Amino acid sequence: MSLLLFLLVCAGYFAVPLWDSDFWWHIASGREILQNGIPNIDPFGVFPSTDVVRNDTVLKGQWLGQVVLFSVFDAGGVNAVVTFRVLVLLACVALVWWRCHRLGVGPLALWLVLILVVMNAGSFGGERPQLLSFLFAALFFVAIDLAEKNRYWLLVLPVITVLWANSHGGVLLGVALLGLWTLLRLFDAKAEWHEKRPWLLATGAVVLASLLTPNGPQTYLYLLDLEGSVLQARTSEYTSAFQLYTMGYIWQQVWVIAFYMVALVAAVSMFQGKQWRYLASTVFLGVISASSFRYFVFFIFLCAPYVAWGVQDKLKNLPELKQSITRIIQGVLLLSLFGLLIVSLLRGTMFRGGFYQELYPVEIANFVQENNLHGRTFNNMEWGGYLLWRLTPQVTPYIDGRMLDENRFPPYTNMLWATLPGIQWFEHENFQLVMMPYRGRYDPEHYKLLDYLRARPEWLLIYRDAKGVVFVRDDK
């Protein structure tokens, strides 16, 4: 009863309006792939094919995830995508619960860790191919856990890997973690060679399976090329999981720190209990999440059962206290979940759909379509993905959230603020249209380019609303 009610509350908590701005270019890519196949060059005409590794990886590396997202959207619109996100996150939470139960974790440790998992997962579940990556990662570790007692489950890993590798680059985490488990097993003096060999073969099969993608080995080359690059420094997802507060995510930061604190306590138990594989996975994912929050969801979904096991190990020294507290906590939890569900439903803060239309140029795109405006367009990056989705091939945006070309940032920023070199770049690009908001999402200052355009006779303001403007070039 508690678990079903908990999952129902989780579903309501996860069901929020679509919020990830990258969603739009992902479904635009999925539509393009279904219509014309996997591209070799940018089908939207935004970026040149000068950086083969980065171009190929971004254009081809998530093709299956993009096709799935577009197919879901095409079948049921935005609310179908919201439902898809809810179901994937619920599946990951349910798999955490199942793995905890299989490890013999008691109710106290289980609910403590499970609540922390849910509070964190709700903040990171953007509508991208990474949703499939979370699910494949969770299934991957279910197979690893089962293979500890039945090695035939290792046969499942290459199958998951092929699907995962064609959906999202997170597959590299699965390869690395399986390699870590296999390495520790090889150095286990208590294990016989016939016990080690299947894991070694499975690791080799998973590595080969991860190459069965349109990019093959370039997936690994891209990862090496990205490390320490300017592009990585400019990407918010590479912010440390301990620096979310710097982006205004205060409560998310609280839940992240809480999970780390519990994981630290559990790691001591793992060390004392000589659970080296649990410990190695937890430390590895904890460390890389500290350097980049994009890995944190993998940390909670994959390592939460091991963390719960460690907490359970600490609680076993208090059997009488644990039994009495367990009954109280289960009762309080049940009442709290029921109360939370009722209050949230009455207030309308659960089971919400749609998307935040105020963040996107919906009316502007409608105007451009209705008036059949064409041409190369200067736009701000946050609108780029939506413009790709709505206006391709009618309009060619200058930049979008794919960020395939790190050399585009200096000209882009200078153009927004109409610096002297920015104006020179702007005129050199020979834009026919400008579609942009008055200011950035997190910046109260108006973009100076708008003042420049208003002062130029060849640029005509033909549309404006509360979100932004459309200028068209008239060279007559």
Question: What are 194-212's pLDDT values in tens digits?
Answer: 888 999 999 999 999 999 9
Average pLDDT over residues 415-435: 95
Average pLDDT over residues 448-470: 96
Tell me the percentage of the chain whose pLDDT exceeds 70: 92
Average pLDDT over residues 76-102: 96
307 in Cβ contact with 265 (< 8 Å): no
412: tokens are: 């882009």
Asked if residue 227 has pLDDT above 80, the reply is no
Average pLDDT over residues 332-351: 78
This prediction's pTM? 0.91
Average pLDDT over residues 151-157: 95
Q: What pLDDT, on a 0 to 100 scale, did the predictor assign at position 100? A: 95
Residues 6+ apart with CB under 8 A from 118: 10, 13, 93
Buried b (16+ CB within 10 A) or exposed e, 243-253: ebeeeebeebb
Q: Which pLDDT tens digit goes with each residue over 25-75?
A: 999 999 999 999 999 888 998 887 776 766 777 889 899 999 999 999 999
Q: Which pLDDT tens digit goes with each residue over 233-290?
A: 556 677 888 888 887 788 889 999 999 999 999 999 999 999 999 999 999 999 999 9
Q: Which pLDDT tens digit goes with each residue over 304-316?
A: 999 999 999 887 7
Residues 6+ apart with CB under 8 A from 57: 169, 215, 218, 219, 222
